[in-house]
Amino acid sequence: MKAGKLRHRVTIQRFTEGAQDPLTGDITSEWVDLATVWASVEPLSVREFIQSAAGQSQVTTRITMRKCDVRAADRILHRDQIFNVTGVLADPVSGLEYVTLPCTEGVNNG
């Protein structure tokens, strides 16, 4: 993957359950920053959007980045937008160089 394509700065976040609050007894849960990396953030074309809608999906964006520890339950922050990761697709050649993340826009649980 050529570095020139990775021109957007994004932050990967993971939902974690923290410690128990000593005063209230509640378990604190929050989104924690895992890493800030360079990525390619591309809205889907109309054709791709229609095809994804046919599969009962609402994928609106494709984010590509170098291989890292990202999961389908994570979310990506980019320019004050939240993208929910709906899957993690390894590159088709080696599976080791980069990942493509189909994403939906909006706030997810938490």
Provide the domain count of the chain: 1
Task: Note whether residue 97 is domain-resident.
Answer: yes
Domain range for 67 is 3-16+27-105
pLDDT in tens, 82-104: 999 999 999 888 878 899 999 98
The span from the CA of 40 to the CA of 13, in Å, is: 17
pLDDT in tens, 77-86: 999 899 999 9
Q: 26 forms bridges with which residues in the sheet?
A: none
Asked if residue 99 lies in contact with residue 55, where contact means CB atoms within 8 angstroms, the answer is no
**For position 93, what pLDDT does the model report?**
81
Task: Note whether residue 22 is domain-resident.
Answer: no
**For position 107, what pLDDT does the model report?**
67
**For position 59, what pLDDT does the model report?**
77
pLDDT of 10 over the 80 cut: yes
Task: Note whether residue 21 is domain-resident.
Answer: no
And the tokens for 110? 């938490």
Q: Which of 68, 58, 59, 2 is nearest to 35 (CA)?
A: 68
For residue 107, give every residue at least 6 positions away whose Cβ sits within 8 Å of its Cβ, in sequence order, or none.
82
pLDDT in tens, 35-78: 999 999 998 866 655 665 555 557 789 999 999 899 999 999 99
pLDDT of 34 over the 80 cut: yes
Any idea what DSSP says for residue 79? T
pTM above 0.85, yes or no: no
CATH of the domain at 65: 2.40.10.270
**For position 29, what pLDDT does the model report?**
84
Is the model more confident about 48 or about 29?
A: 29
Asked if residue 37 lies in contact with residue 65, where contact means CB atoms within 8 angstroms, the answer is yes
